[in-house]
């Protein structure tokens, strides 16, 4: 797939990646800044010590500011399943959005269109599985909330580039418990051992965006059970 990529912004904030075969994850972020120019300048400022591989503005324009062959500094302290420090094995994508601090808003149609093309390109190039298309808050739930509850994970799933439960399944009432939720979130990939309550919120931002509280209830357990089944199905294929 051919993508129109702009190259006028380049970040000095990266390390050399030892092996391109290590790439198996995509991490989606929002910029959390007031506009695209401010975000691009920050990502390309040596003093910021932050970067990403790709940036998509509200109009759907795509920049590559760190080459795939290098490790961008986007994930930070992070964990998913048994892997820590996901910078080394991931591609980071920043989406222009003011975020929760500056007037969080819906992502644009043009952003989704470009993001979907980019993710498909990365999946084909690096054989990335859709259970490894993640948000920053998935891998760092106590530090990050992006891309947030307004991000359309269900839309990506409709394009077969992310996971969303096809059906919400009922469970026997006698198995509802805090321990069950802990185990389900852990199986999906969240670092519940160190960040249980924040993992619940990260899960809800992604899969239950209209219910942003820490309550553990029947609805949450049903969704977590159904989501875990989808992750398990995908992982059983490789």
Q: For domain 5-158, give the fold.
A: Lysozyme-like (3.40.80)
So what's the pLDDT on residue 215? Answer: 87
Give the Cα separation of 109 and 139 in Å (integer): 26
Name the nearest CA neighbour of 59 among 20, 95, 8, 23. 95
So what's the pLDDT on residue 1? Answer: 47
Q: Where are the domains of the chain?
A: 5-158, 173-235
Name the nearest CA neighbour of 31 among 192, 156, 151, 207. 151
Lookup result for tokens 């500011």: 65
Pairing state between β 90-95 and 54-56: parallel
Per-residue pLDDT of the chain (238 residues; tens, 9 = 90+): 457 787 789 999 999 998 999 999 999 999 999 999 999 999 999 999 999 999 999 999 999 999 999 999 999 999 999 999 999 999 999 999 999 999 999 999 999 999 999 999 999 999 999 999 999 999 999 999 999 999 999 999 999 999 999 999 888 777 778 899 999 999 999 999 999 999 999 999 999 999 998 888 989 999 999 999 999 999 999 8
Model confidence, pTM: 0.96
Specify the DSSP element, H or E, that contains 64.
strand 62-64
- Residue 22 tokens read as 């290590």
Active site residues: 94
For residue 142, what is the DSSP state?
Answer: T
So what's the pLDDT on residue 6? Answer: 76
Residue 68 sits at the vertex; the CA angle it makes with 63 and 71, to the nearest 5 degrees, is 110
So what's the pLDDT on residue 182? Answer: 96
């Amino acid at each position: 797939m051919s993508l129109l990529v702009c190259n006028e912004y380049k970040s000095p904030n990266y390390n050399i990646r030892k092996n391109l075969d290590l790439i198996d994850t995509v991490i989606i972020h929002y910029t959390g800044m007031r506009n695209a120019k401010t975000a691009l300048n920050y990502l390309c400022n040596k003093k910021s010590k932050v970067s990403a591989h790709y940036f998509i503005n509200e109009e759907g324009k795509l920049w590559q500011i760190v080459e795939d062959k290098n490790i961008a500094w986007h994930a930070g302290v992070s964990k998913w399943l048994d892997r820590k420090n996901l910078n080394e094995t991931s591609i980071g994508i920043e989406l222009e959005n003011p975020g929760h601090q500056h007037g969080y808003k819906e992502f644009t149609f043009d952003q989704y269109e470009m993001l979907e093309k980019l993710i498909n390109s990365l999946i084909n190039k690096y054989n990335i599985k859709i259970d490894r298309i993640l948000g920053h808050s998935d891998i760092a739930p106590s530090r990050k909330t992006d891309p947030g509850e307004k991000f359309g994970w269900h839309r990506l799933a409709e394009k077969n580039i992310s996971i969303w439960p096809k059906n919400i399944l009922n469970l026997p009432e006698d198995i509802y418990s805090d321990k069950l939720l802990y185990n389900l979130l852990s199986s999906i990939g969240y670092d519940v051992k160190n960040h249980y309550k924040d993992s619940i919120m990260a899960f809800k931002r992604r899969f239950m965006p209209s219910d942003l509280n820490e309550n553990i209830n029947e609805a949450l357990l049903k969704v977590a059970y159904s989501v875990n089944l989808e992750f398990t199905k995908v992982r059983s294929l490789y």
